[in-house]
Structure 1
């Protein structure tokens, strides 16, 4: 038995700090396991008792007659350390630590927690917690938890696993799932995550044959490697993950150094990473459980489309609005199919939503006719049928069930969802027929859209790793713009023609060689945002203007930043006719280098219309990023504009991602702003570049 299986499916368990009082922290796990059918051995450890809750008790860990698979530690923090040492030395595979008073208490607690982990790892024992509410496995009856939520009822065994960093909230989710009638395989809370974390738990569930759907709650990701490996394993095994990730903070003071970082923030990066692995991010607990419930049908339509059958025109409009907001396509029915439906019911609305009107309640065979047309002629992969309270009426429900069930049975590959108001016994009958029932059709739409995202992710072939760049070395400190562009040019990231000029004569000569008009910029490694001090001059049209501009830039730099190192002036060709874009990289504290793409100007400053992707990625992924922004039509030739050179742009973005991945942790960020995407076939060029080098050792 591997360590995590010993933790979640143990054959024997010790309870350190066991209590005879079933309402105390050390007594609840024993009471729950006895009541709910744990078949393994329970070893209570308490030096003051020979018997606890009808079981033989042992005075010490050393006195236990066997080595249990897992131990529950329910003693104060001061006694928890010695308990971990003794359990590890005896060869226990894993321990669940209820004990609090560690990292959550400050530096001293953090140090004590680190000692716990070191003592456990020295003997190969893994720790869940400390400061956690524990876990349970509904199928085996193992209840290594002290939650009081079980007093309101035990879980129904089923296919949904729950992993939560928060103990109280994780058990809140369990309580709601139980009340909604959802079947659960296991619930795990990870607490301080001194050793095992929510990623490890998702990874275990991804391989557990009893878990088909994974619902998770996280406040922060401590270890990106285990988290991402778990998400990829779940995707590979076609196990949908729905995650509530809370805490929408900015990346902090580093944002002041990087335009990219200030736009990104932790939350935007989290969204991008979850999307990369096909994880659906729930906004509410209700939405998380809706998605998990529908996912248990195990129908995940790639290229999802929604067909709607309704007896209410108003509900059809509401559903259509919800689908548009969610990005779930609702193509119209083919015209021949519409004509056939009009022949069956002249005053129907057959486009999609397909409104069979209340007339269908007089002739319920129409329901079957219309539903069959939606599936077979509309070709929709998901069908949402709205019958409101009529679907729950005793005079309607039996025949309605018969008509709908016949269509569903003939098309088991389609996702069928029903919105009715009915008593629980009838709802169960509809569910047994293969329909997932929602009272609120908008909630149904959100869950249906999520199934399509899972399908798209499961169908996606992992892209090949992009080719590496030639080896390079970052400079010791943040370089000037000219040096940054030289470094990037060696990586295949081109800039507009330019020259670094230490003297005014060199600037005049460079401008005449490049060709007027030119752009003049102050050249200094200490002035990263030149426009803020008036350090950029546009439309410099002749030699005299170059001379005047050179002097003006030096004067402005001296006034605004008297201590800055000045290397001269950068003379660059002024580009025109392209679309301004921004490309950037910032180092996320959890996920490492993350690339950003967006259009320049108002699109990035005000609208923040940007996309993100973990580095590195290939050109196909880069093109997907480019096309995903709302402003993409401006690059693709909207309103008579010439299309931009997408091939050049995606090559630049991909190479930037590879450069960032190879650069290592000393690279704090890169900003290419603006990048001019010239008309198709004319390339893409960085007009400004910043490479931000982290200070000190990284």
Structure 2
């Protein structure tokens, strides 16, 4: 009789079992080998070396013992319960092994075997069968095609990764999750070299069940993990991923993500500015920024920040103090700070004068250059550090002592001086230099990071500051999201006239405008309005009107408007002969403001993204945009607007009028809600431009494109 379990997630796979996956009380190794070098033998060797406290059951019908442990011919013959099983057998035997696990009551399975979806259709079909068996028994599955995991706290080592060969990594509170087993092994090996304290390491493989996002969520909630690094090639469960990252921010746990394999922007970019501005990589970066995660571009970036976040005190701000014995190194680090966006404010005048009296050869301004004179008087190091800490009130400190830190005579004195001056102060500090192993350990025990490269030291400190800013940012209150009365949108294109009607219903103002079909009608409308007018071609086949001569501005009077209409129709017919022309749209000229683009674009992974930037014809040229996951609150939208390089144009720069940025933020928020509500049928919604004025905003053009399934 099969043992079934009831508790499942929306996709049908049991949600229970992650605890037993990561910290089981008993483990069976199906395909166990007596050779510690073989795939089926490595986990047993690692378990024995790690002093795993649970029960280990090798399964091998050809042997009575395996690596000194009693071996069993099959799972059924194992006495008592088995929480967790490793399947280290050919892919062709996995289906029966999964059924055996189900009948034994195994709650979590790790599949080393390859030969599944990574091998094509036949392998994918087999993988689907395995998933169905797992669902039937309520078994949680990590893999297949997976190198396994490592939980240092309990000695759980179901892996054949060479990253555990020789000495195990230093035990600490870093969690590593990787979708690539081989590259994950590389990260684990580098972590040992860098003396990173590893608490957990997880390779997810094909993610037949347990996803990277679920692993992240588990580590975020773990008391054994304080900082997390992810290597990702794809995101299978974006909702869980975002929820986990938001929870990490709430718990102030830094997450560093290396996301590779970014897809290219789809064909919709040809029709919509928004599509090209909110491409896949830009959307990924925006989401990570929004939830407070750091995007690592290189392995070195990831390891540096994991190192910093795991041993350093949290940052309190972004004011960097630089102590150096080299003017050149001080300049280099100041340049690096500017590139990283952190401040290097000067020391107070009173402190400068006091330090100069003690050391007239110095330049204690920040960078604080104490020169080589400090070698004659080591108390100068402590005095300057203390002054920077107390008088300068710096949030971050970096110190450069060239090769002196590696000296057998001077190195220990520098370490002792720095540690005594800074121990227990809760201040992120990085030393730039080299040192023997015992001094590196001593520095790190006092929370002082050691880097050989000045720029990397500054970058790591800047990352700590950015995490602090992200953690302190207020959480989004769902009650602040506007509610809209708009009916659902159909899965079709909406041209300018219809699209403007839709955005007006969402609470975004538009101008009075009239649709005409002839030059004579255009002149008549201009005469009636009795003011300068704008005229645009209306066609479902023309997205970028100005490129085909479909826009005329500042037309005064009936005659000028009539003539412009004749010219426009002829020009458009020449440049877009196959376009279906609906007519000409006449409206009063709107001026005295700043044009923005406000758009929403469906990302294949995260869903609707909202993008804002400088609008009009320079949108894609300037590339001055900000993105967020939709929907956004007005407060979040205002942050996006203020982050633009062009924001001073709205904020009164050089005597300009101060524009209604709150009205613009409200429009951005409302468009984001409209897009999110219609995510199933809409690919993108765009207002370009949205004119921001001293009082209010007005949508001058709009376009809605359908989602194609």
What is the TM-score of this pair, normalised by structure 2?
0.93
Match of 2:215 among 192, 201, 211: 201
Conservation of the 8 A alpha-carbon contact between 1:497 and 1:514: no
Matched, 1:448 2:461: yes
Conservation of the 8 A alpha-carbon contact between 1:44 and 1:56: yes
Matched, 1:305 2:327: no
Match of 1:629 among 639, 644, 667: 644
**Deviation at residue 554 of structure 1 after TM alignment:** 4.0
- In the TM superposition, 1:105-504 aligns within 5 A as 105-297=119-311, 299-409=313-423, 412-465=425-478, 466-504=481-519
**Deviation at residue 489 of structure 1 after TM alignment:** 0.6
User: Partners of 1:347 and 1:644 in 2: how far apart?
Assistant: 52
**Deviation at residue 555 of structure 1 after TM alignment:** 4.2
SS in 2 for 1:170: helix
**Deviation at residue 690 of structure 1 after TM alignment:** 0.5
- In the TM superposition, 1:678-697 aligns within 5 A as 678=693, 680-681=694-695, 683-695=696-708
Check 1:650–1:217 CA distance in 2 against 1; reply closer, same or farther (3 A cut): same
Q: Which moved more, 1:283-292 or 1:44-53?
A: 44-53
SS in 2 for 1:583: strand
Corresponding residue for residue 683 of structure 2 = 668
**Deviation at residue 274 of structure 1 after TM alignment:** 0.8
User: Partners of 1:6 and 1:283 in 2: how far apart?
Assistant: 34
Count of residues paired in the alignment: 693
SS in 1 for 2:561: helix
SS in 2 for 1:158: strand
User: Partners of 2:30 and 2:446 in 1: how far apart?
Assistant: 48
Conservation of the 8 A alpha-carbon contact between 1:417 and 1:437: yes
Query: Can you give the 5+ residue segments of structure 2 that lack an aligned partner in the other structure?
Result: 1-14
Conservation of the 8 A alpha-carbon contact between 2:526 and 2:556: no
Corresponding residue for residue 526 of structure 1 = 541
Corresponding residue for residue 18 of structure 1 = 32
Conservation of the 8 A alpha-carbon contact between 1:391 and 1:422: yes
SS in 1 for 2:20: helix
**Deviation at residue 147 of structure 1 after TM alignment:** 1.5
**Deviation at residue 625 of structure 1 after TM alignment:** 0.7
Conservation of the 8 A alpha-carbon contact between 2:313 and 2:447: no
User: Partners of 2:405 and 2:44 in 1: how far apart?
Assistant: 46
Match of 1:74 among 88, 102, 120: 88
**Deviation at residue 423 of structure 1 after TM alignment:** 1.7
Conservation of the 8 A alpha-carbon contact between 2:274 and 2:599: yes
Corresponding residue for residue 538 of structure 1 = 553
Conservation of the 8 A alpha-carbon contact between 2:397 and 2:428: yes
Query: Can you give the 5+ residue segments of structure 1 that lack an aligned partner in the other structure?
Result: none
Conservation of the 8 A alpha-carbon contact between 2:304 and 2:460: yes
Corresponding residue for residue 18 of structure 2 = 4
Corresponding residue for residue 36 of structure 1 = 50
User: Partners of 2:132 and 2:518 in 1: how far apart?
Assistant: 61
Q: Which moved more, 1:364-373 or 1:518-527?
A: 518-527
User: Partners of 1:554 and 1:64 in 2: how far apart?
Assistant: 84
SS in 2 for 1:447: helix
**Deviation at residue 505 of structure 1 after TM alignment:** 5.1
**Deviation at residue 685 of structure 1 after TM alignment:** 2.0
